[in-house]
Amino acid sequence: MSARRKATTQISRLAHRASGTAAANRMVPEETPVAFSFAGTTHAVMMASPADFEDFALGFSLTEGIIAAPDEIEAIEVEDLGAGIDIQIRLKDQANTRFEARRRRLAGPVGCGLCGIESIEEAMRSVDAVGASRLTLEANDITRSVKLLSKMQPLHSETGAVHAAGFYIPGKGVVMAREDVGRHNALDKLAGALAKAGVDGASGAVIVTSRVSVEMVQKTAAIGSAFIVAVSAPTALAIRTAQQAGMTLVALVRGDDFDVFTQPDRVVFGVTQHVA
């Protein structure tokens, strides 16, 4: 059964402005618990925007290393339980065997902070190297990608309270974007949408509206992109992880300004520009 829920709700509030105070309405985003269940057992519960559930399930399974390719999933069933959404994911035999072995290795209860993974070793898993990627971006590609993504955020335009992740291909623009109250969720949904559409992750750059944590780097590497471009700052661990993976991490994109933290050789600057 597919689940359909409204993404926003209109609420009334007291709005104080320099011109005065008055009652007014505002649209706010909905969020709901979304459970990922494999072989009938819940593996993780995330608070997420109630949309793009199949993209979310496929992307989460890929970026968390549960599957290596979309065809390892036999079926995805989405059920609305009222209090939340349960996504039942059935893996094919070989993938299910790997997952069961992995689950037996992991101790501790499910938690949302690390997508249900309590193992430090799992949380600090190595990422696939993307150093062989030949993709380069010009400086104006980077600034343009963020501007284009801002035009593909209807939920954020309505509420001002959600993140977005987009995929930018030079010469084509932002070909796909997903929104969610959670930055990791938006990226997982993007990963699922790209995989479902058969888009090669090495062909473009991941663009995000959030800061860059190590999980964002890990998920971008799982997509196969050599670029992650963000409007906010990265953490030190994210920078080290991107460097180890051979990924170009660009952050603090504000107007025409941005900082390149790793692998600057993939960014083509104009003759008057330079990297300090």
With contact defined as beta carbons under 8 Å apart, do 73 and 90 qualify?
A: yes
128 compared with 59, residue with greater pLDDT: 59
Domain 137-268 class in CATH = alpha beta
Residue 125 has pLDDT above 90, yes or no: no
- Exactly one of 112, 175, 202, 252 is catalytic; which is it? 112
Look at residue 128 and tell me whether its pLDDT is greater than 70.
Answer: yes
Share of the chain above pLDDT 90, in %: 79
The total of other beta-carbon atoms located within 10 Å of residue 41's CB is 9
Residue 274 has pLDDT above 80, yes or no: no
Sign of CA dihedral 120, 93, 45, 185: positive
pLDDT in tens, 82-111: 999 999 999 999 999 888 887 766 544 444
Query: What average pLDDT score do residues 38-54 get?
Result: 93
Distance from first CA to last CA of the chain, Å, rounded?
Answer: 55
Structure-token match 């269940």, residue found? 37
What are the tens digits of pLDDT across the range 210-226? 999 999 999 999 999 99
Q: What pLDDT score does 123 carry?
A: 63
In CATH, 32-123 is 3.40.50.300? no
85-91 and 73-80: which strand pairing? antiparallel
Considering the chain, what is the average pLDDT of its residues?
90
Is residue 87 helix, strand or coil? strand
- DSSP SS3 for 140: helix
115 catalytic? Reply is no
The CA–CA distances, whole Å, from 198 to 193, 207, 241 equal 9, 18, 26
Q: Could you identify the residue written with the tokens 């290393």?
A: 65
Query: Average of pLDDT values for 4-26?
Result: 93
Q: What is the pLDDT of residues 152-199, one digit of tens each?
A: 999 999 999 999 999 999 999 999 999 999 999 999 999 999 999 999
* Neighbour-count burial of 98, counting CB atoms closer than 10 A to its CB (0-12 exposed, 13-18 middle, 19+ buried): middle
How far is residue 166 from each of residues 78, 199, 226, 247, measured CA to CA in Å?
A: 24, 13, 14, 17
- Overall average pLDDT of the 215-242 stretch: 96
Structural domain boundaries in the chain? 32-123, 137-268
**Exposed/middle/buried for residue 208 (C-beta within 10 Å: 0-12, 13-18, 19+):** buried
